[in-house]
Amino acid sequence: MTCLPGYYITLLPVGVRLQASPGALLRDLLFEQGVEFPCGGQGRCRGCRVRLITGDLPVTDVQRERLTPEELLHGWRLACQGCVASDLTLELRQWDAAVLTDETPMEFLPAEGLGIAVDVGTTTLVAQLLDLTDGQVLAVRTALNAQARFGADVMSRVQFAVVEQGHSMLVDSIRRQVGALIQQLLQAARRSEQELRRVVLAGNTVMHHLFCDESLEPLARHPFEPHNPGMRAFDPADLGWDLPGHVAVWFLPCIGGFVGSDVLAGVLATRLHEADRLTVFIDLGTNGEIVVGHQERMLCASTAAGPAFEGARIAQGMRAATGAIWRVSVAGDGLHCDVLGDVEPAGICGSGLVDAVAAGLQQNWILPTGRLRTGERMLLAGEVFLTQTDIRQLQLAKAAIAAGVRILLRQWGATPTDVTRVLLAGAFGNYVDRNSARRIGLLDFPAEIVVPAGNTALLGAKIFLFTPLERVEDLTGLSGRIQHISLSADPDFQEIYVQEMMFPAQPLEEINPHDPLATRSTSISGRCL
């Protein structure tokens, strides 16, 4: 088909109108609008579905494999498989990214000038500009990590970098994007680049290595130990940033394996290293990271939970954004669903997935093995449903976390009853219902000791912003106090992992409904129709 110039793409329901060149890839155009590509645009999943309202998007063999005849008939297409050959009107399933920032008060020593803290996440980036004289947050910017077009999880990025020779592309992408966020922050606050003194970044091991231009090859093979996990300092010119030379740029050190500086920042932010009683810290993400310990001893591990907690690889999964079912509860013989944005449900995010499976277990629609009694689908609300494969994806994710916690506690010489506090970091930890998490066997702890900790990576990076130079080495040395445990090297890991795949046959004791901590820390909700 001959492509003519001057095509326009209208995106519903957001009302955005884009201009595109002939043959432009939809993947590149829609990523900038918040559409995610969980498999890196390889056509291996259904996460980038869009519905064609007007225009021409031919159906490819890959789309015939991934979409049902009924879906194709109703206009559904995989955005990663399309290119622009006409004016298009498309209905998006994902929009309005919800990113967890941080407004936690903290103690600090005043300093001169401005500082910027950056949480370099696999999925999202969060950056804050602070006045170092009074600790005031002057501006906040968030964005989807532009690397996500090459894969939703860290192992997809590792494969793209090592196997597909995409390392330099990933390095350039993250450096340019963080540099652009810094400029946006300064412009938004109307402050001069000359006032900037420090930029502190925290992220997982893969993000650390990509930003620092370190080889990912060691992370692609056993024993998965990072090449150069330490603290890294840069001049802005080294990164291609147009900033004065006096600006110090630090990427905080990793702890070991896939346990990155985001976890080190989390330990600092929660003061776990100062705790006098046994505490468990869990970053519930694609790469689940766990720390068990107190001021005398700390153990850590990472486990490949997969992206189910973020709504990826789920048939109708999406981020915690407008249109996502984020909470599900039993209502009589059926279900009641809450939807972000008070709109018609468009899909389900990670917290809603955990709730839905917990409700299905309560209603006896789902067996402890994970098998659906009701056939291949469990209807939630509107046209949103769970499939048998969705439930299996959640089992894989929750088993990885639960097995990691069990092994770390065993190596510590403790049991769940010895734990006095469980801290859940990240966006998913902020939204997930603690009773539902316990019902599916994700957390084997009384719900009243489980506390959402927010964006601890960002808070920890801000703590470093205010750290005097003479104390930086002390704080970065904290990583040496945390012992990294390789779960894959544990002879019982596989057996424990398989055991944790099962859902508890009976519900565990639920949280006291009068507990003021029982409600989740967000009030955005709507009723499913």
CA dist 455 → 117, 200, 290, 405 (Å) = 12, 15, 15, 21
Position 321 scores a pLDDT of 75
Q: Bridge-partner residues for 198, per DSSP?
A: 115, 248
Tens of pLDDT along the chain (529 residues) come to 343 457 889 887 556 788 888 888 888 888 766 676 766 677 777 778 888 888 999 899 888 888 888 788 878 899 889 999 899 988 776 544 445 556 667 778 889 999 999 999 888 899 999 999 999 999 998 888 888 888 777 888 999 999 999 999 999 999 999 999 999 999 999 999 999 999 999 999 999 999 999 999 999 888 888 888 889 999 999 999 999 999 999 999 999 888 999 999 999 999 999 999 999 999 987 778 999 999 999 999 998 887 788 777 888 888 777 788 999 999 998 999 999 877 889 899 899 999 999 999 999 999 999 999 978 899 999 999 999 999 999 999 999 999 999 999 999 999 999 999 999 998 788 778 999 999 999 999 998 999 999 889 999 999 999 988 777 777 777 888 999 999 988 999 999 999 999 999 877 554 443 343 333 333 222 222 2
CA distance 523 to 516: 14
253 and 153 inside one domain: yes
Question: DSSP alpha helices (H): ranges in 108-204?
Answer: 154-162, 167-189
Q: Tell me if residue 11 falls in helix, strand or coil.
A: strand
43 and 120 inside one domain: no
CA distance 114 to 243: 13
138 and 253 inside one domain: yes
Q: Evaluate whether 428 touches 407 at the Cβ level (below 8 Å).
A: no
CA dihedral for 372, 374, 377, 378, sign (positive or negative) = negative
Nearest in space to 387 (alpha carbons), one of 396, 377, 379, 372: 377
Residue 241 counted as domain residue: yes
Give the up-direction half-sphere exposure of residue 221: CA atoms within 13 A in the CB hemisphere: 6
Residue 53 counted as domain residue: yes
Nearest in space to 75 (alpha carbons), one of 94, 54, 93: 54
Nearest in space to 323 (alpha carbons), one of 250, 252, 279, 380: 380
131 and 266 inside one domain: yes
SS (HEC) of 125-141? EEEEEEECCCCCEEEEE
Position 40 scores a pLDDT of 67
Q: What would the two tokens of residue 400 be?
A: 């990885």
Position 517 scores a pLDDT of 38
Residue 87 is part of a domain; what is its CATH number?
3.10.20.30
Residue 442 counted as domain residue: no
Q: What would the two tokens of residue 214 be?
A: 């370190």
Q: Evaluate whether 103 touches 124 at the Cβ level (below 8 Å).
A: no
CA distance 267 to 479: 9
Length of the chain, please?
Answer: 529
54 and 168 inside one domain: no
Q: What would the two tokens of residue 182 be?
A: 């810094």
149 and 76 inside one domain: no
CA dihedral for 48, 53, 56, 58, sign (positive or negative) = positive
Position 318 scores a pLDDT of 84
219 and 181 inside one domain: yes
137 and 264 inside one domain: yes
26 and 167 inside one domain: no
Residue 55 counted as domain residue: yes
Query: Radius of gyration over alpha carbons of the chain, in Å?
Result: 23
How many helices and strands, by DSSP H and E, does the chain display?
Answer: 14, 22
CA distance 151 to 295: 37
Residue 28 structural domain: 7-92
- Give burial (CB, 10 Å; 0-12/13-18/19+) of 484: middle
Residue 227 counted as domain residue: yes
Q: At what angle do helices 456-465 and 261-270 cross, to 10 degrees?
A: 80
CA distance 305 to 309: 8
82 and 143 inside one domain: no
Residue 150 counted as domain residue: yes
Q: Count the Cβ atoms, other than its own, within 10 Å of residue 68.
A: 10
Q: Count the Cβ atoms, other than its own, within 10 Å of residue 115.
A: 24
Q: Evaluate whether 248 touches 231 at the Cβ level (below 8 Å).
A: no
Nearest in space to 201 (alpha carbons), one of 243, 237, 232, 157: 232
Q: Count the Cβ atoms, other than its own, within 10 Å of residue 483.
A: 15
Position 518 scores a pLDDT of 38
Residue 295 counted as domain residue: no
SS (HEC) of 329-384? EEECCEEEEEECCCCCCCEECHHHHHHHHHHHHHCCCECCCCCECCCCEEEEECCE
**Overall number of domains in the chain:** 2
Residue 438 counted as domain residue: no
Q: Count the Cβ atoms, other than its own, within 10 Å of residue 172.
A: 14
65 and 209 inside one domain: no
Nearest in space to 72 (alpha carbons), one of 54, 50, 88, 90: 50
CA dist 313 → 4, 48, 375 (Å) = 35, 10, 20
Q: Bridge-partner residues for 199, per DSSP?
A: 116, 249
Residue 466 is part of a domain; what is its CATH number?
3.30.420.480
Nearest in space to 391 (alpha carbons), one of 443, 302, 333, 313: 313
Task: Give pTM, 2 decimals.
Answer: 0.77
118 and 78 inside one domain: no
SS (HEC) of 286-299? CEEEEEEEECCEEE
Q: Tell me if residue 18 falls in helix, strand or coil.
A: strand
Q: Count the Cβ atoms, other than its own, within 10 Å of residue 261.
A: 32
